């Protein structure tokens, strides 16, 4: 077991949200200690961590002190600077490596990385100055999607534009910062593949996941997406290829658009466990969170098979607008699991938790999780 970080050791997590919280559950089950680092006090991850360090990611003295106290560093939040990860790496291994963060936290770098290596991506054009606006519009046409180049997620930092005037205004709103203009894709379905890769180069995944969004935020995810077998194989092959191209040690999610003629286009990468893989916590032999623990610590990966057909529905802060949700109503279905993230306050659009429901097949599981969520506000 040379190079393996064995149970009893301490894992450091950059970030302290719900992904870190579920990672901490998995790490503790395997016998590891967990330290978390973020600017937030009394955080979802901090509730379960052995040590919660509260400091800014730019405080490199604090980052160094944090990394010296752990045996390996991973992250649940990729929007930290390369200076932060470089500093941590001087004191403990960082997995996935800083190069993965460098690519995935910047849309333009990510798209160029994928394009240069032959992976299918949405047509795009970089925007840096006024001249780029005209050339991008001419090349891609309208409608199109303007996205900030860096630090965006859940639909933040992006807008659909339908004319030169709307493009100019949207670019002004984001401060005329570096951005990406993407062709608008009339997709048939959004799917994802959550995959993992170990230190030995072995990889695995949880199949193709069917994703439904509302207002650019994931709403419902159901595994075993109803796509042709060839499309499923291609999606999994692309995910494996990206893991290898980035030399990922850990978990990575590849989000795709599936067009009407069954072409896959990579939309975004997330180099950590992903919202669309939350069903694995309850429904898979090994969850995405346990797999993250195993891979970053050099342990063999676990099986990813689905134990029962399942579906996941997000719980956003909107559900609290009329008062505390009726948890008893949702849990009246014995085949429903509730996960709450321990966030102090609910606000519209904020991810507060999720439900997972089981069924005899994927359609029944989806119907049950949607019904259970609706019951939360049934007064």
Mean pLDDT of 86-91: 97
Distance CA 54, CA 37 (A): 6
| CATH superfamily of domain region 123-183 | ATP-grasp fold, A domain (3.30.1490.20)
CATH architecture of 10-94: 3-Layer(aba) Sandwich (3.40)
Residue range 246-282, pLDDT digits in tens: 999 999 999 999 999 999 999 999 999 999 999 999 9
Residue range 202-222, pLDDT digits in tens: 999 999 999 999 998 999 999
* Predicted pLDDT at 156: 63
* Predicted pLDDT at 216: 87
* Predicted pLDDT at 79: 85
List the end-to-end C-alpha distance of the chain, in Å, as a whole number.
56
Distance CA 82, CA 98 (A): 7
Q: What is the pTM of this model?
A: 0.95
For the chain, the three-class secondary structure string (H helix, E strand, C coil) is CCCCCCCCCEEEEECCCHHHHHHHHHHHHCCCEEEEEECCCCCCCCCCCCEEEECCCCCHHHHHHHHHCCCEEEECCCCCCHHHHHHHHCCCCECCCHHHHHHHCEHHHHHHHHHHCCCCECCEEEECCHHHHHHHHHHHCCCEEEEECECCCCCCCEEEECCHHHHHHHHHHCCCCCEEEEECCCEEEEEEEEEEECCCCCEEEEEEEEEEEECCEEEEEEECCCCCHHHHHHHHHHHHHHHHHHCCCEEEEEEEEEECCCCEEEEEEECCCCHHHCCHHHHECCCHHHHHHHHHCCCCCCCCCECCCEEEEEEEHHHHCCCCCCHHHHCCCCCEEEEECCCCCCCCCCEEEEEEEECCCHHHHHHHHHHHHHHCCCC
Answer yes or no: is pLDDT of 287 > 70: yes
What are the structure tokens assigned to 274, written together? 């992903």
The dihedral region occupied by 46, where left means phi > 0, alpha psi between -120 and 50, and beta the remainder, is: alpha
Distance CA 242, CA 251 (A): 11
Answer yes or no: is pLDDT of 242 > 60: yes
Answer yes or no: is pLDDT of 90 > 90: yes
pLDDT-derived band at 378, boundaries 50, 70, 90: confident
- Give residues with Cβ within 8 angstroms of 319, minimum separation 6: 325, 346, 352, 373, 376, 377
* Predicted pLDDT at 3: 79
Answer yes or no: is pLDDT of 364 > 70: yes
Answer yes or no: is pLDDT of 314 > 90: yes
| Domain 187-375 bears CATH identifier 3.30.470.20 | yes
CA-nearest of 79, 8, 96 to 38 is 79
Q: Which residue has the tokens 């180069």?
A: 201
* Predicted pLDDT at 78: 87
6 close to 17: Cβ distance less than 8 angstroms: no
Q: What are phi and psi of 348, to 5 degrees?
A: -55, 135
Residue range 176-205, pLDDT digits in tens: 899 999 999 999 999 999 999 999 999 999
What are the structure tokens assigned to 239, written together? 């995910």
pLDDT-derived band at 1, boundaries 50, 70, 90: very low
CA-nearest of 13, 153, 6 to 95 is 13
Answer yes or no: is pLDDT of 38 > 50: yes
Q: Domain spans of the chain?
A: 10-94, 123-183, 187-375
What are the structure tokens assigned to 91, written together? 């004191």
* Predicted pLDDT at 167: 93
Residue range 53-88, pLDDT digits in tens: 999 999 999 999 999 999 999 999 888 888 999 999
CA-nearest of 229, 276, 233, 231 to 254 is 276
Distance CA 306, CA 283 (A): 6
* Predicted pLDDT at 150: 77
Residue range 110-161, pLDDT digits in tens: 999 999 999 999 999 999 988 899 899 999 999 999 999 876 555 567 899 9
Length of the chain: 379
């Amino acid at each position: 077991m040379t190079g393996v970080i064995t149970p009893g050791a301490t894992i450091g997590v950059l970030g302290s949200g719900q992904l870190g919280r579920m990672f901490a559950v998995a790490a503790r089950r395997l016998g590891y200690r967990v330290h978390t680092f973020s600017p937030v006090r009394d955080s979802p991850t901090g509730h379960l961590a052995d040590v919660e360090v509260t400091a800014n990611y730019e405080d490199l003295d604090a980052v160094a002190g944090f990394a010296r106290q752990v045996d390996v560093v991973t992250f649940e939040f990729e929007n930290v600077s390369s200076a932060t990860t470089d500093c941590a790496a001087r004191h403990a291994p960082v997995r996935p490596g800083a190069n993965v963060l460098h690519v995935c936290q910047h849309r333009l770098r990510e798209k160029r990385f994928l394009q240069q290596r032959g992976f299918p991506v949405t047509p795009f054009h970089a925007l840096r100055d006024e001249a780029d606006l005209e050339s991008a519009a001419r090349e891609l046409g309208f409608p199109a999607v303007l996205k900030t180049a860096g630090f965006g997620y859940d639909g933040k930092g992006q807008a659909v534009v339908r004319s030169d005037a709307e493009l100019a205004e949207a670019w002004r709103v984001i401060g005329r910062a570096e951005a990406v203009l993407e062709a608008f894709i009339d997709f048939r379905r959004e799917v994802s593949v959550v995959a993992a890769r170990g230190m030995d180069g072995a990889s695995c995944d949880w199949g193709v996941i069917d994703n439904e969004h509302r207002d650019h935020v994931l709403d419902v995810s159901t595994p075993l997406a109803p796509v042709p077998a060839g499309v499923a194989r291609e999606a999994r092959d692309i995910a494996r290829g990206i893991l290898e191209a980035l030399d990922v040690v850990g978990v990575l999610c590849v989000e795709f658009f599936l067009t009407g003629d069954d072409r896959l286009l990579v939309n975004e990468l997330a180099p950590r466990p992903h919202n669309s893989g939350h069903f694995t916590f309850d429904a898979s032999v090994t969850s995405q969170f346990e797999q993250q623990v195993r891979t970053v610590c050099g342990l063999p990966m676990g099986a990813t098979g689905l134990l029962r057909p399942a579906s996941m529905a997000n719980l956003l802060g909107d559900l609290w607008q009329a008062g505390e949700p009726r948890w008893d109503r949702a849990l009246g279905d014995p085949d429903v699991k509730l996960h709450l993230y321990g966030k102090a306050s609910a606000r519209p659009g904020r991810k507060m938790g999720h439900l997972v429901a089981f069924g005899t097949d994927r359609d029944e599981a989806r119907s049950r999780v949607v019904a259970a969520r609706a019951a939360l506000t049934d007064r």
